[in-house]
Structure 1
Amino acid sequence: MTVEIALTLTVIIAMMYVLITEKMEPVIVFFIAVNIFLVTGIISVNEAVAGFSNKAVLTIAVIFVITAAARNSGALDYLVSFMLKRKQSHKSQIFRLFLPTTVLSGFINNTPVVATIASIFTEWGRKHNITLSKYLIPLSYAGIFGGICTLIGTSTNLVVSGLLEQFGYESFSMFQITPYGLPLAIIGMIYIYFFSGYLLPERESSYDRMEAEHQEYILEMYVKEGSEIAGKTIEEAELRNLQGVYLLGIIREDEAITPVNTSNMILEKDTLIFGGEIDRIDDLLEIEGLEIRPESHKYFDAVKRGEASFHEAVISLNSPLIDKTPKEVGFRQKYNAVILAVSRQGERVVKKIGDIKFKPGDILLLIADPEFHKQWERGRDFFQIAKKDNKIRLKRGNSIFVGLLFLTMVVLAALNIKPLLFLGSVTMSIIVLTGIVTLNEIKEAVDLKILIMIALAFGVGKAIENSGTADFLAEKIYGVVDTLPLFWIMVLMYLFVMVMTEIVTNNSAAVITIPIALKIAKLASVEPHSMAILVAIAASAAFLTPIGYQTNLIVYGLGDYRFSDFFKVGLPLSITFMFVTAGMLTYFG
């Protein structure tokens, strides 16, 4: 093992550790790794920045904008309105929800498709007393099924295609992956249709529990110096028998006391965390020396006057809020909203709201300005925002126009008349010139963190190749499996990529494994594109955890799921996909 290989392996292992433990944002991790490879001479300056001009990265940026146009035009809303016409049996509703989501996700990036449909379906489901936990994991999987069917269904396919080109091979065509992705999608749909009803939990969501508890929201009250309740126990202060409100916890400096009991002492400068009915909060103000934060009180008054409303927002995977507290981001000032409660993994986070560090998938219950939904629904901060009085707004003229544009782009790309990047750029230009998306909406639609991370990832992939690490690992791995039939080599390669995806996310897994996979393909005399298709499918077919794929994280909090729910439903599906993919590529690849 050379020094360069040892250094590259060390950096890759360190990257994986940091990504798994979420100690840094992924884009920072890749930035540091690329700079290490650059300083040590493993890659050149041109190789370090080559990803920023790669056609795959630029295509992803264009697809972001076109997808935003589809959302803005009302095209997705129009389809969802058809999907949700009436309450039906579980299997009928699964089919009506599932098939359009899968088809759409093949041609529009699956993450915004699932985010949009999940938002509208969640509101519709609550109005019709539907158990959301029976439908939202299937919705996420439907997005994944569609994504693996075409080049543009998921960014992972575009990343693998771009890496192929970087390593000297021809990139994927629009439907090159379809003969393998489509049978898998059909198998997945059959599995979900017949078995999801039995495997998924029937669980009341945290939102529904709050509704059932008379709209109990969290409120912080501050114990002033000289307060009449300071120095008393909870029982002595008579805080156990309040009407319509109850004490959830006490925040004392950096300590959270929860749950509380009657013997807990209340001290000056404590923050008391109450849950209760909005109309009963004024009763707390009658206690001398107990005060609500002035800015919070303003919002409650606004609700009573009808000038503000309640919203539910889910923190996105790449939100700038992640690992920051409301204080650090100036949440009230930035969003003109106040956080009433934070729900994480189905449980309310009981601590001082201003000190809670946001995590992906957190559900925020907010009182916000009436324009909050309109202003932030297409930004990167939140996956989706639900408002109690959401209505599906249809703009049929724009919907048809955008649909025809998109269909034209797909057909011309499929016929190889022009490269996808060229066709996408023309489509985007028409969309912008016709005003369907504004420049500000483009800025919100293009997630620079994702694009920069993917561009940097190409530098990491090049380092794995230049250092000899890909050859070294491929020879070691192939030395162990070379006596096995090709089918089992494919199975083990799929398993390797699948495990990587579940722990470091799809695009990272693709970048790390594709150089190794291509070297193994050469040693095993396998057509390189067959191995690349295997990596693309395995990296996207993340069914086992909510963190492996963005669509899983979108539904994680909304359905009040546990990690075990994904594993229980996703394990048979993952095993099936692994063997079917390996079989198709072995005998037909």
Structure 2
Amino acid sequence: MDNFEFWYTTILILFMTVALIKELLQPELVVFSVLVLLLLGGVIDEKEAFAGFANSGMLTVLFLFIVAGALQKTGILNQIGSILLGRAGRTSVKLLRFMLPVAGMSAFFNNTPIVAMLIPSIKYWTKKNDRSPSKFMIPLSYAAILGGTMTLIGTSTTLVVHGLLLQNGLPGFRFFEITPIGLPVALFGLLFIALFGHHLLPARKEPMVKLGEHTREFVIEMKVLPSYRFLGYTIEQAGLRHLSGLYLFQIERKGKIIAPVTPQEKLFINDRLFFTGLPDTIIELQKTQGLSLLEDSTFDLKHYDSDTLNTFEVVISENSPLIGKNVRDSQFRQQYNAIILAIHRSGERIQKKIGDVVLHAGDTLLLLAQHGFIKEWYHSRDFYLVSETTSIPSKPRWYSIFSMTVLILMILFMATGLLPILAVVATAAIILVVTRCISPEDAQRSIEWPTLLIIASAFGISRALDNSGVATFLATKLITAIGSLGVIGLLAGVYFLTSLYTEFITNNAAAALMFPIVLAIAGQADIDARPFLLALAMAASASFATPIGYQTNMMVYGPGGYKFIDFLRVGIAMNIFSGIITITVIYFLFF
């Protein structure tokens, strides 16, 4: 039976690896199917197979998705992304600008919530600036991983090794004991990704409708206020030149029309900017601080609540009382309890101020109104068509302040260890749902269920590797083969075998499986086990080459639009160089 379990598990792990690399099926289906087959084969029992589904780490990630969703709904994450990434510029500079703070935060806080909360923020920034999210998502995960290697609490893997030390009657790691090793690895890794590694990443973008003769373009007029941060800057410097899904085609200044608008044209107070664009990009544009659509006491256009308000498109019918009236005199808001954000007229680009536009039959209006608008006006003779458009997350300002407060308190409680991390994150998620920072429906939609399925299944698969003897067999054979190479050979064996395990099973499981083997090696060689255990902690934490090796890699897998091979391209080099630096530093520190 033991021999059957060994070969059965080996074949299934090989199948899983090939299926993931070849992308034969969805990753979550592949991993979960292997888990079920291991259960059917008797390699693991029911409790071992499904222990990951009740694991505190997996549940923590689940609640963090809700927290991140709430922060996105309130607009906080979009602001964080803008601060970290700034305006458009060189990719290398942008990567360093956000990876350094991410690595710094990950050294002192669990890197999982950091990645979970920044994924939607970076996606928003890349979409807004017409950049590829696949150039930024892997760097986000890698920065969090590298930062986590710099202190005891930066990653749960180091804490696992720390706990195993104590369990075996050995002194645990000191808070900064791993820092002399993790810091140079982190600095090298960040520079490598920013300067060279990002060239190995794909440049995939989400499908985005381009403006053109067959696109339904809306025209929106924005007024420049004294509070606009780019007063006196050129169009290029203000980031208004290359907007995704938007085009600045005209400026009106003191009654004079400036068209076409050159990149070097400067912006001044009371300038009226005329944009043409797609509905969702127009809705985002009107939230820009210092650019005003209109003054309205009923609707706060910068901080409206998307749970009660939404955007709609309506087509004016030939029987509508609006025909022949300009927008200003039509009393549209009073009549329909809605605001006109932008106007589309087929075959013509509107050049006038929105308030001066005379409405025609067939004009399409982009509106902001209550959710009940479509029910109230769907059958009206005033409009040929009433339809709901893309929902853009938005909340009043106090929601943003409140959600940010919850986030800060959550991080503080996690850092101090006053309460279990799962309890802290679950409480934060519940508070955000109860206070309507995110609705229960949106909370459910914010959870990445495929990612959770993979994380939960990985625990059972790692147990199968242990039960079947596959893990111990591979470790013993490799260590025996390189033992003659001396201390550096043993360090390299421990590091790269652990690194290999980590790429295909969870990092915590890899650390737990390798721990007794490392102690045995040190005992047989009559060498202090401490440096080898530091190498073990580093190798299990620094997992770059596959999406399943570290949960932050899996978290960015979908949002970045990656394939399995994308991680191999940049991750193998990261693994090798990180290993070389770790082994070199440990050797000079201890031998």
What TM-score results when the alignment is normalised by the length of structure 2? Answer: 0.55
Cα separation, partners in 2 of 1:490 and 1:413, compared to 1, 3 Å: farther
Is the CA contact 2:28–2:454 (under 8 Å) kept in the aligned structure 1?
yes
Q: Is the radius of gyration larger for structure 1 or structure 2?
A: 2
Q: Which residue of 2 aligns with 1:551?
A: 556
Cα separation, partners in 2 of 1:172 and 1:212, compared to 1, 3 Å: farther
**What are the residue-to-residue correspondences of 1:210-289 with 2, within 5 Å?**
211=210
Cα separation, partners in 2 of 1:463 and 1:164, compared to 1, 3 Å: farther
Cα separation, partners in 2 of 1:301 and 1:67, compared to 1, 3 Å: same
Give the 3-state SS of the residue equivalent to 1:372 in structure 2.
Answer: coil
The one of 138, 145, 163 equivalent to 2:143 is 145
Q: CA shift at 1:120, angstroms? A: 3.1
Q: Give the Cα–Cα distance (whole angstroms) in 1 for the partners of residues 403 and 438 of structure 2.
A: 11
State yes or no: 1:63 paired with 2:38.
Answer: no
Q: CA shift at 1:412, angstroms? A: 2.6
Alignment-mate amino acid for residue 556 of structure 2: T
Q: CA shift at 1:177, angstroms? A: 7.7
Alignment-mate amino acid for residue 538 of structure 2: L
Moved more, 139-148 or 74-83: 139-148
Q: CA shift at 1:450, angstroms? A: 2.4
**What are the residue-to-residue correspondences of 1:61-460 with 2, within 5 Å?**
61-83=62-84, 86=87, 93-100=94-101, 102=103, 107=111, 109=113, 112-113=116-117, 115-126=119-130, 132=131, 137=135, 140-150=138-148, 183-192=184-193, 211=210, 306=364, 371-374=389-392, 396-460=397-461
Cα separation, partners in 2 of 1:495 and 1:424, compared to 1, 3 Å: same
State yes or no: 1:38 paired with 2:35.
Answer: no
Give the 3-state SS of the residue equivalent to 1:482 in structure 2.
Answer: helix
Cα separation, partners in 2 of 1:79 and 1:190, compared to 1, 3 Å: same
Q: Give the Cα–Cα distance (whole angstroms) in 1 for the partners of residues 565 and 113 of structure 2.
A: 25
Give the 3-state SS of the residue equivalent to 1:524 in structure 2.
Answer: helix
Give the 3-state SS of the residue equivalent to 2:50 in structure 1.
Answer: helix
State yes or no: 1:26 paired with 2:27.
Answer: yes
Is the CA contact 1:95–1:193 (under 8 Å) kept in the aligned structure 2?
yes
Cα separation, partners in 2 of 1:112 and 1:34, compared to 1, 3 Å: closer
**What are the residue-to-residue correspondences of 1:517-528 with 2, within 5 Å?**
517-525=514-522, 526=529
Gaps of 5+ in 2: 217-277, 279-312, 317-343, 347-362, 368-385, 523-528
Q: Give the Cα–Cα distance (whole angstroms) in 2 for the partners of residues 562 and 15 of structure 1.
A: 12
Is the CA contact 2:31–2:454 (under 8 Å) kept in the aligned structure 1?
yes
Alignment-mate amino acid for residue 518 of structure 2: A
Is the CA contact 2:414–2:424 (under 8 Å) kept in the aligned structure 1?
yes
Give the 3-state SS of the residue equivalent to 1:539 in structure 2.
Answer: coil
Gaps of 5+ in 1: 127-131, 218-277, 279-298, 310-367, 378-392
Give the 3-state SS of the residue equivalent to 1:46 in structure 2.
Answer: helix
Moved more, 199-208 or 449-458: 199-208
Cα separation, partners in 2 of 1:12 and 1:159, compared to 1, 3 Å: farther
Moved more, 96-105 or 462-471: 96-105
Q: Give the Cα–Cα distance (whole angstroms) in 1 for the partners of residues 11 and 567 of structure 2.
A: 34
Is the CA contact 1:72–1:437 (under 8 Å) kept in the aligned structure 2?
yes
The one of 533, 537, 540 equivalent to 2:537 is 533
Give the 3-state SS of the residue equivalent to 1:484 in structure 2.
Answer: helix
Q: Give the Cα–Cα distance (whole angstroms) in 2 for the partners of residues 22 and 500 of structure 1.
A: 20
Q: Which residue of 2 aligns with 1:342?
A: none
Q: CA shift at 1:40, angstroms? A: 3.4
Question: Per-residue displacement from partner, 1:173-223 (whole Å, max 9, x unpaired)?
Answer: 9999877655543333334555579x5799898979x85986699xxxxxx
Cα separation, partners in 2 of 1:44 and 1:114, compared to 1, 3 Å: same
Is the CA contact 1:101–1:143 (under 8 Å) kept in the aligned structure 2?
no
Is the CA contact 1:454–1:507 (under 8 Å) kept in the aligned structure 2?
no
Q: Give the Cα–Cα distance (whole angstroms) in 2 for the partners of residues 138 and 21 of structure 1.
A: 23
Q: CA shift at 1:400, angstroms? A: 3.4
Q: Give the Cα–Cα distance (whole angstroms) in 2 for the partners of residues 98 and 468 of structure 1.
A: 39
Cα separation, partners in 2 of 1:20 and 1:494, compared to 1, 3 Å: farther
Alignment-mate amino acid for residue 514 of structure 2: A
Q: CA shift at 1:145, angstroms? A: 0.7
Cα separation, partners in 2 of 1:70 and 1:577, compared to 1, 3 Å: farther
Is the CA contact 2:82–2:125 (under 8 Å) kept in the aligned structure 1?
no
Q: Give the Cα–Cα distance (whole angstroms) in 2 for the partners of residues 27 and 85 of structure 1.
A: 35
Q: Give the Cα–Cα distance (whole angstroms) in 2 for the partners of residues 70 and 174 of structure 1.
A: 31
Cα separation, partners in 2 of 1:426 and 1:206, compared to 1, 3 Å: closer
Cα separation, partners in 2 of 1:7 and 1:454, compared to 1, 3 Å: same
State yes or no: 1:471 paired with 2:472.
Answer: yes
Q: CA shift at 1:480, angstroms? A: 1.0
Q: Give the Cα–Cα distance (whole angstroms) in 2 for the partners of residues 446 and 50 of structure 1.
A: 20
Q: Give the Cα–Cα distance (whole angstroms) in 2 for the partners of residues 43 and 90 of structure 1.
A: 47
Cα separation, partners in 2 of 1:441 and 1:13, compared to 1, 3 Å: same
Question: Per-residue displacement from partner, 1:330-356 (whole Å, max 9, x unpaired)?
Answer: xxxxxxxxxxxxxxxxxxxxxxxxxxx
Give the 3-state SS of the residue equivalent to 2:542 in structure 1.
Answer: helix
What TM-score results when the alignment is normalised by the length of structure 1? Answer: 0.55
Question: Per-residue displacement from partner, 1:419-468 (whole Å, max 9, x unpaired)?
Answer: 21122222222222222122212211222332233222212111111222
Is the CA contact 2:16–2:34 (under 8 Å) kept in the aligned structure 1?
yes
Give the 3-state SS of the residue equivalent to 1:60 in structure 2.
Answer: helix
Cα separation, partners in 2 of 1:85 and 1:394, compared to 1, 3 Å: farther
Q: CA shift at 1:484, angstroms? A: 3.1
Is the CA contact 1:487–1:582 (under 8 Å) kept in the aligned structure 2?
yes
Alignment-mate amino acid for residue 441 of structure 2: N
Give the RMSD, CA atoms, in angstroms: 5.1
* Paired residue total: 414
Is the CA contact 1:145–1:181 (under 8 Å) kept in the aligned structure 2?
no
Identity of aligned residues (%): 20
Question: Per-residue displacement from partner, 1:271-301 (whole Å, max 9, x unpaired)?
Answer: xxxxxxx9xxxxxxxxxxxxxxxxxxxx999
Is the CA contact 1:149–1:177 (under 8 Å) kept in the aligned structure 2?
no
Is the CA contact 1:67–1:108 (under 8 Å) kept in the aligned structure 2?
no
Q: Which residue of 1 aligns with 2:381?
A: none
